[in-house]
């Protein structure tokens, strides 16, 4: 097994074992600070907002990729094992399976004790919608939806880019994700300035989201869910979302679990009606959340397994 493959396996193992420790300095925090600093600078120096947004995208992604590549390359020049270690550590920071499980689990545990205010508070940390007035079924819906969507954004997509281009490319993907979350809005401030970042995020997730959806359908029977219904719902409802990508894994999860996602959400006090995804064959409850988590881990495991098979066939290792 080559060093790059070993680094990826170590990164996956570290994420599954340790998650995202709060004491560990996280590259995404630094990427966010870079974006904030560049936004202020570019708004002052570049009158054209669309051009400024393009420069923000290029500078942020370029700096992130270049820094990661320099760290991995520099460590490898010292010793090959050091290069593998640095690549594994950087790759670890790109994966979020354990932390997604843990953060959504806080919501589930609060609901299990009947503490709706606490459940709403925990949910507000992982979704963008207003949570202060949500009922218990709506809280479960938000929890299942965020696990489903982030099965792609936080697990399958960064793992895909790790496999394609190592830690530098995976961190470049995280930079695109962070840009979209900070400036990719269609409001007055970011309609033009955030346009390039939002479109780049759509493009970056185009393939991984569909891989995630197919993997969810594939592992659904192993997770005690319906693979056929997952595939049927993904094909039928995958486009019932404002994002060209997020609806794919959400629809696959909804079909696998037999639940309905989507509907009305409030953002900054304004209700937004979204198309529904899936059919309400079963309630949105703790069992649905546990099923979504199983589908997330199963999808990750399937991707790793397929990748290892590919390596064995290609290299004979």
Residue 317 pLDDT > 60? no
Please state the domain count of the chain: 1
Tell me the average pLDDT across 226-248.
94
Q: Over the chain, what is the mean pLDDT?
A: 94
Long-range contacts (CB closer than 8 Å, 24 or more residues apart) made by 99-106 = 99/19, 99/20, 99/154, 100/126, 100/146, 100/147, 100/150, 100/151, 100/154, 100/155, 100/296, 101/19, 101/293, 101/296, 101/297, 102/19, 104/143, 104/146, 104/147, 104/289, 104/293
pLDDT at 3: 87
DSSP annotation string for 146-168:
HHHHHIIIIIIHHHHHHHHHHHH
Tell me the average pLDDT across 37-54.
96
pLDDT at 23: 79
| Separation between Cα atoms, residue 281 and residue 288, nearest integer Å | 11
- Note the pLDDT tens digit of each residue in 20-35: 887 788 899 999 999 9
Range of the domain at 114: 3-315
pLDDT at 243: 87
Model confidence at 86, pLDDT cuts 50, 70, 90, reads: very high
């Amino acid at each position: 097994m080559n060093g790059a493959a070993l680094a990826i396996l170590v990164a996956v193992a570290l994420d599954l074992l340790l998650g995202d420790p709060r004491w560990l300095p996280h590259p995404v925090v630094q990427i966010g600070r870079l974006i904030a600093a560049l936004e202020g600078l570019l708004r002052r120096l570049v009158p054209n907002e669309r051009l400024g947004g393009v420069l923000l995208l290029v500078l942020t992604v370029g700096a992130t990729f270049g820094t990661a590549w320099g760290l991995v390359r520099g460590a490898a020049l010292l010793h090959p094992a050091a290069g593998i270690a640095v690549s594994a550590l950087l790759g670890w920071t790109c994966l979020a399976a354990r932390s997604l499980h843990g953060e959504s689990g806080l919501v589930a545990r609060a609901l299990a004790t009947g503490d709706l205010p606490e459940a709403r508070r925990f949910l507000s940390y992982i979704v963008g919608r207003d949570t202060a007035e949500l009922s218990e079924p709506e809280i479960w819906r938000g929890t299942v939806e965020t696990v489903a969507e982030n099965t792609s954004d936080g697990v399958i997509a960064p793992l895909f880019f790790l496999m394609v281009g190592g830690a530098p490319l995976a961190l470049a993907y995280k930079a695109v994700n962070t840009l979209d979350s900070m400036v990719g809005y269609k409001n007055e401030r970011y309609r033009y300035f955030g346009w390039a970042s939002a479109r780049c995020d759509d493009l970056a997730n185009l393939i991984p989201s569909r891989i995630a959806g197919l993997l969810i359908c594939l592992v659904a029977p192993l997770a005690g869910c319906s693979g056929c219904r997952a595939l049927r719902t993904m094909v039928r409802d995958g486009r019932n979302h404002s994002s060209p990508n997020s609806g794919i894994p959400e629809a696959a999860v909804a079909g696998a679990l037999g639940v309905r996602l989507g509907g009305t959400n409030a953002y900054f006090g304004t209700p937004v009606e979204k198309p529904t995804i899936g059919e309400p064959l079963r309630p949105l409850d703790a069992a649905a959340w546990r099923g979504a988590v199983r589908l997330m881990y199963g999808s990750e495991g399937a991707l790793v397994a397929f990748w290892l098979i590919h390596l064995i066939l290609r290299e004979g290792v």
